[in-house]
Every structure is written in C-alpha cells, then in structure tokens.
Structure 1
Amino acid sequence: MTSPVRALWDAPAAVPAPPGRVWRDWVLVGVIPALAVVEASVRTDVPWRWLWAVVLTALAPTLLWRRSRPFTMLAIAFAVGTAVGLATAGDPQLYTTAYFLILLYAVFRWGSGRAMVAGGSLVVIGMLLTFLPTPPQVADVIGGVAVAVTTSTLGLAVRWRRRARSRELEQVRLLEREQLARDLHDTVAHHVSAIAIQAQAGSAVAATDPGATVQVLQAIEAEATRTLREMRAMVGVLRAPDDALAPTPGLAEIRSLAADAAAPTIAVRLGGDLDSVPQAVAAAVFRIAQEAVTNARRHARGATRIDVGVDVDSDGVRLEVRDDGVGAASAAPGYGITGMRERAALLGGTCDAGPTPDGGWIVAATLPRAGWTA
C-alpha cells in the first residue's frame, strides 16, 4: 500500500473519544420509527412500504451505538437494507431511509482508519447491488454518490477540526508548564536557597553565639513558612493555562500596564497590603489583568479609558478591569477568557466577564485567601 493509504488504514479512532449517549440519541430512535409509519401511511404508491417501515423501525436502535461501534452499526443497517432491496427487487423509496446517512457520518466522524475504509467500501458495494434489479438513471447514480461523498466529507471535516482544537489546547498546556517551571524556580527555589544560607550561618555561629543561633532559627522558620505557602499556591497554579516570562510578575507590576502610551489610556489603582499576597497568586492576578487589558484594547470599540483596580483585604484579592467602550452584548469564551476563568478557579476564586449596564465591558476576578492557603 502507498503511504497515504497506509496512513489512513492505520489511523486510530477519533480523539478525543466520543461522548456517551445523550437525550438526542433516544429522540432519534423514537422519531425515526414514527416517521417511517407516517410516511408508509401517506405514500400509498410506494411498493413494499409497510415492509420498509418495519425494517426501519427494527434498525433504528443502531443509532444508540453509532459512536462506540460505528462500522458495526453501518454494516448491520446496510446489510439488512441491501438484502431487503434485493428481495423486493426495488430501491427503498421511503425518505426515512435517509437515516442511514447518520450511520455513514458516524463512521467518518468517530471510526478508525480501517472502519472508514471498510465503511466506504461497504456503501459502494451496497449501492452497486441495489442497481442490479433495474439499471439506474445517470442522474440517480450521480446524486447518490454526491450525497454519500458529502456526508463522509462532513464527518471528516468535523473530526479534523475537533482534533486540531484538541492539539491547540494541548500546546497551551505545554507552554504553561514551561512558564510554571519558571515560577517555581523564581519563588519556592528562592526561599529554599535562603533557608540553606541561614542554616550555614547558624552552623558557623552555633558554638560561639547561641543568641544569634536563635535568630537564625527564627529566620529559617519564617522562610519555611513562606515556602510552604508558595508551594501550596503553586500546586493550584500548575493546572492553569496562560503565558508568562521570568521573572514572575506581581501585583506591583500591574502598574506597568499603564506605561503604554497607546490609546486607550490605562489607569491603575492598587489598594491594601500587597506584600501579604503570595507571589504565585500575585502572578495569577497580574496575568488576568494583563489578559483583560489586552482584550479591551482589541475588542472595545471606541474605548478611551481602561480602569484597573486591585483591592487586597483580609478576605483575599479582588480585581476589576473596566473599559468605557462599546462591546458586544455577549461573547463566546475564547482562550483568553477561558484561561482567566480557569486560573481563578484553580486558586479557589471566580472570574466573570461581561457588559456593564452603562456600557463598556468589565472583567471581575475574586481570589479568596482560603483558595491559596488551604
């Protein structure tokens, strides 16, 4: 076999895996028999109409397994349909038989490479066999082939689009892991190095200055506490997608967002005890603010001002990024909004984005202390 054919033959099943049965599957199983009976009652000119109605009713449950066993269900449906067509010496003229296309779509959407090749071959053989009793019209052949090819192509297009989306998300995760490795080095490793230095100093003065030794131990305790806090925060942040570069930014770096002279202007307000926020959490707040400002610059039509506010209190950190532009009434969450929400959620907080009653757009994130100290 040539390389393209071999690649198709060895292709695995669709990734990600197909979902389980949903309510729509049961609706289809219930609707198709009903449509077959109604059509058989109305179209009195169709030969063997009640036989075909019974066959379609019996084959309708194949839709329940079309994702997990796509080729098997297609083979069953086409084998039975072709056998009945040959026995009655005629094509199934009920429009309800178009449900077979759902099974064909499922093979190319969810099946493996072998299933796609075998399913396509099965459809071709089935079409040729139905042409044996009576020679078909050229228009009928062209129409049948066009419908089958279109259905198969649609299944492949949806399959490849979903796989491309999955690869993009995986790439985002890989990039974030690299960034979080930098965060780990710049925060926790810093405290561990300080502990090691203090321990060396304690060893040097232990014999001559017991008082200094106590101070060293207190310093080690303080560093160890901060390290533990940073590590707990990092465990949550390790699962959040975003991008960054070392050194890890903090709350104070949010002021740098206002340094860009390009319109709209950015006003930054920071309030509360900024030093009480762990570095990893502060980096998360900075990234959310950065993404929100970037989105406002890109999408807020007519915006002249972006206000960034950060408040730190005993409950945690609250961030608001608000613009005065004209935004959409709603927006489908892309990577930016999804990343902000996931980063906040993994630290035990929330992040909401949407239009304001008086116009403009607001991004509001709340990170409670319980989320990063638990």
Structure 2
Amino acid sequence: MVTGSRTCRPGWADLVLTGLVLVFVVGFTSAASRWQSEGESAAEPFRPLDALGYGWLVAAVLPLLLARRFPIVVFGLCSALAVTYYWSDYPGGPISVTSAIALFVLTVVRGVLPGAIAGGGLLVTLYVAHVVSTGNPVPTPASGALAGAAVAMVGIGAAIRARRAATRAAQDQAREHEQRLAEQERLRIAREVHDVVAHSLAMINVQAGVAVHVADRRPEQAKEALLNIKEASASALVDLRATLAVLRSGQERGPVQGLAQMDELLEHARAAGLTVRVHGRPGDLPAPTDGAAYRILQESLTNVVRHANQPSIVDIHFGRPGGRLELRVRDDGMGATPPRLGNGLRGMRERADALGGSIEAGPVDGGGFEVRLRLPVGGDGRDGE
C-alpha cells in the first residue's frame, strides 16, 4: 500500500504546473468578472463569482496534479467541468486551458492516437450538443477555434513525445555501448592476467616436479630446477605488477611485449626439458600484431608444457605469405586429442579475431598438436622463411 501511494503522489513539476494554471484561471476569470460586471447589459445577465464559482474553477484545475498518471480520466474530468462551467451563468474565463493542458499531457504520455481520439471525441460531443441545443448544424467560430487548439495540443504533444523517445533511444544506445566497452575491457584484463600468470605457473609446476623427483639422487639438478623456479616466479611478478600498474593508472594499454622478447619464452620451454626449434623469422610487425603473436606463442608453449603427452620437440615456424604473418607451433607429443575451449584457447581466438585474423588448433598426423595463426599485416612476404 505504501508503494502504491508513492506511485500516485504528484511530483514537483505537477505541483508547479497546477499552481500556475490555478493562479492564471482564477485570476483571469476574476478580472473578467469585474470587466463584464462594469459593461453588463440587461440582455446578457450573469452570475457573479461566489464560493461555488471559485470552487468550480479550482475543481477544474486540481485534476492536473494527476494528469501524467491518469491522463484519460483527468482529460475527461477537466473537459466536463470546463464545458459545464461555460453552460452555467458564471462569467467567462480561460477555464478551457485545463482541458487543453490535459489533452497535451495525454498525448505525451499515451501517444498520438489516444490523444487524437480524445480530442476528436470532445469536439464531436460539443458539436452534437450545439446542434441539439440550437437546432443549427452550422458550427460556430468558437468551434473552429477549439478544433485548432485541439490539433495544436496533439501536435505539440506528439513532437515532445517523439523527442523524448529519441533521447531515450540515444541514452539506451550510449549505455549499451558503455557496457560493450566494459565487457571488452574485462575480457582484455582477463586475457592479460591469464597470459602473465598461466605461463609462469606452468613452468614453475614443471620445475617443482623435477626438483621433487631428483632432490635425493641429483641435488645439483634439483638446485638448478629451484633456480629456474625463482627466475620464472620473479618474471611473473614483474609482468603481473606491470599489468596491475596499467589497470590502476587507467591507461588503455601498458608496455606491450613482442616477438623481440621471444628468447625468454624459448628458454623457459627449454628449461622444462623441451627442444625448441625456430624456423624462419617474423620480420617487422605492427605493435598490435607483434603483441598478439607473442601472447599466442606464449600460450601455445604453455599448453605444450601443461597438456602434451610426453613431448620432446617443439617446432616454431614463422612465415609471411601473401602479406600476412603465419605462426605455427607444433609439438611431437603422443595421442593428442581435439582441445576443449578453455581460457587459453578462447583468449587466443579473441586476440586473432580482434585483428581480423584466424587461428586453428588441433591434433596432427603422428600424434602431436599444432596451433596455426594467421594475422594480416601487409608487406610483400619477403621477411619470412
């Protein structure tokens, strides 16, 4: 019940509008009453405004407080009070403005068709009453003025309604765009954090396993594995701090790693016991392409370490056929199966799609697994293998 009462409570705009209309109608009608009293003729007597007359005027204005919530009811009530007032003996005045404002609000709130039907219905009713009371089917000049006022109110209300609808559509579109940007930024942050953390943790996990396995029999090798863990964790902390610093600063991009730092990735893979062979070279690349290729190469090597079955050799092929970069990462693991769509593969595809490229990943003949990336970069292809 409390919620319903709050819903029906008029707002400040309703109070101000109703107050202004009330002052205008009562004040103008009072002045008109005095003017008509001074020039009154015996042929046109009228009843001076009294308590009933003032109450009538106030009753015709007050429904405007609820015009936005009950537009049809308010329009009907204001119109009925205005028409019956003009048929009374009280002096004329601008009480019809209440009906015009109610028709305007009705059109804004409910639309052109309801407003036109309501306005037309009022005009038809007045015309029928005129014909019945006078027997003259010819409309009076006042009828034409009323019709013009009704058309004007419906037209203005329709224009404002259309403008509000356009404004709401633009606001909805702006909010949708902001949400889309926020979602893209969230995915970008997730990719960056995943790439930074997953690779280093995979290498740390492998080296920790080596250290545990050889700790008793070959302490020197265990020590080497622990040093590799220390190096990998330090590198991960540096990368993670750099990523967090970018996020805190609000910058769109941080320092982008590229294939120029590829040797660090290769050393990590070799420290995990893999033989890494590089064929060809990537050549000069635009920064976005260079960064995406680096991250995809990093994720591919991480997946070899984490998921391949007893791999020993990883072949990395770079090419520039047809003005695009081609990167292939293939291992010689045994019994590779089609991959499940996890965070790593999803992130690689998102990076490739963002640059208009493509990526394929799956098992190959011989039991290994291959990731093939193609990114458009332009050029004549002379920088590759």
TM-score (norm 2): 0.48
- Larger Cα-atom Rg: 2
The answer to which structure, 1 or 2, has the higher relative contact order (CA under 8 A, 6+ apart) is 1
